[in-house]
């Protein structure tokens, strides 16, 4: 406990210094630290063993990872699969399920159970009716544990049922080393995850409509906030400390230590960094994102509207159908590597008639034989149905040739 108190004091001092250092005058286009963050030597952390090959020797997190959100490619990792307590980074999954299973304009009634939730709070009162979207902002920006219970009960009827939904969703995403027992991250032995699983969950979140908007909001006002200003300010300082930052969530309990999942975007690339049980979580996260962006470059697999191939259409006039990409796919490529990604077309059993713009298949992107991204393929032309007489004529011609 003494070391944790010392760590908290050092962290507070480092962060205070960071805010009072003059801001960088030039504004480069790349994602990077906005302030000169003082390099602090890694303190002695009991039980932490760091490989001599680890390129980030001063990183203080027990577990850490940075990935490309689009492909899931790991750029750096330290103990990424080690089971740890997630604290309030749990709320990332709560937000995902809320966005997928409710409407932002749903009115949520706060129960006495929700209002009495321990830990960080929005000071909700039993019987209040608050818009779902407002609760989600409060939950992510101010880490309201009471809001998570209200959200869970509204969607699933109880926190236990909602936690089961969270775990099922995590496993569906591929975060198979995760088990959720509640919606907010309050400590329980059966509530755990890994740095890599949290990165996967967050990468999925960036594809959910509304997710990025909420986790990247710095400040917002709501009438129901129990404060004369009615103002909420995001606790995630990375939104101010790092250019290109667009999320996502802090967390802390005595059992979990200081945790942070952060995201940043540059040149079309979305990176996700995770630090669990970190002494200097802001510095660690900046180092991870800097390292990530320094070691990858954008690889545009396909641009929106590009013709990627042609397909036969049964019952058509004989013309091959152009297949066009529905969107641009840009993934991170490790610098110095050759062609990392492979593509394949899925567009089988096409039958006339087909109208230009119809969805007719998928372009699948693979890394090491595993699907990492895809986009719809759209018909690049109209294909009409072959007439009866042309069908007979082609049949007779085939008999003659045969």
Q: Give the residue numbers marked as catalytic.
A: 88, 91, 143
Whether 167 and 180 have beta carbons less than 8 Å apart is answered as yes
Whether 289 and 339 have beta carbons less than 8 Å apart is answered as no
Question: What is the three-state SS of the chain?
Answer: CHHHHHHHHHHHHHHHHHHHCCCCCCCCCCCCECCCCCCCCCCCCCCCCCCCCCCCCCCCCCEEEEEECCCCCEEEEECCCCCECCHHHHHHHHHHHHHHHCCCCCEEECCHHHHCCCCCCCCCCCCCEEEHHHHHHHHHHCCCHHHHHHHHHHHHCCHHHHHHHHHHHHHHHCCCCCECCCCCCCCCCCCEECHHHHHHHHHHHCCCCCHHHHHCCCEEECCCCCCCCCEEECCCCHHHHECCEEEEEEEEECCCEEEEEEEEEECCEEEEEEEEEECCHHHHHHHHHHHHHHHEEEEEEECCCCEEEEECCECECCCCEEEEECCCEEEEEECCCCCCEEEEEECCCCECCECCCCEEEEEEEEECCEEEEEEEEEECCCECECCHHHHHHHHHHHHHHC
């Amino acid at each position: 406990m003494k070391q944790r108190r010392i760590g908290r004091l050092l962290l507070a001092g480092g962060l205070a210094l960071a805010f009072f250092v003059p801001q960088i005058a030039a504004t480069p286009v790349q994602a990077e630290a906005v302030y000169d963050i003082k390099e602090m030597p890694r303190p002695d952390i009991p039980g932490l063993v760091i490989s001599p090959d680890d390129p980030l020797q001063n990183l203080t997190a027990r577990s850490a990872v940075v990935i490309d959100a689009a492909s899931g490619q790991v750029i750096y990792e330290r103990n990424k699969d080690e089971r740890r307590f997630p604290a309030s980074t749990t709320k990332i999954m709560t937000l995902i399920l809320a966005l997928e299973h409710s409407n932002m304009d749903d009115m949520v009634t706060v129960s006495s159970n929700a209002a009495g939730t321990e830990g960080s709070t929005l000071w909700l009162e039993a019987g209040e009716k608050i818009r779902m979207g407002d609760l989600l902002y409060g939950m992510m920006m101010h880490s309201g544990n009471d809001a998570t219970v209200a959200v869970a009960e509204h969607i699933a009827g109880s926190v236990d049922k909602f936690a089961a939904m969270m775990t099922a969703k995590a496993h569906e995403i591929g975060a198979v080393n995760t088990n959720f027992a509640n919606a907010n991250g309050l400590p329980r032995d059966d509530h755990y995850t890994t740095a890599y699983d949290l990165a996967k969950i967050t990468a999925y979140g960036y594809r959910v409509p509304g997710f990025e908007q909420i986790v990247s909001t710095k400040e917002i006002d709501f009438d129901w906030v129990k404060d004369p200003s009615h103002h909420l300010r995001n606790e995630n300082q990375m939104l101010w400390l790092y250019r290109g930052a667009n999320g996502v969530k802090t967390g802390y309990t005595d059992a979990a230590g200081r945790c942070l999942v952060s995201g940043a975007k540059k040149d079309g690339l979305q990176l996700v960094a995770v630090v669990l049980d970190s002494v200097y979580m802001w510095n660690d996260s900046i180092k991870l994102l800097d390292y990530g962006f320094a070691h990858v470059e954008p690889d545009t697999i396909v641009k929106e509207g590009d013709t990627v191939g042609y397909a036969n259409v049964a019952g058509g006039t004989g013309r091959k159908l152009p297949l066009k990409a529905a969107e641009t796919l840009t993934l991170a490529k490790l610098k110095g590597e050759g062609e990392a990604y492979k593509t394949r077309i899925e567009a089988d059993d096409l039958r006339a008639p087909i109208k230009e713009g119809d969805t007719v298949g998928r372009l699948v992107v693979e890394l090491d034989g595993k699907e990492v991204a895809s986009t719809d393929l759209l018909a690049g032309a109209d294909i009409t149905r072959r007439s009866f007489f042309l069908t007979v004529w082609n049949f007779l011609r085939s008999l003659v040739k045969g």
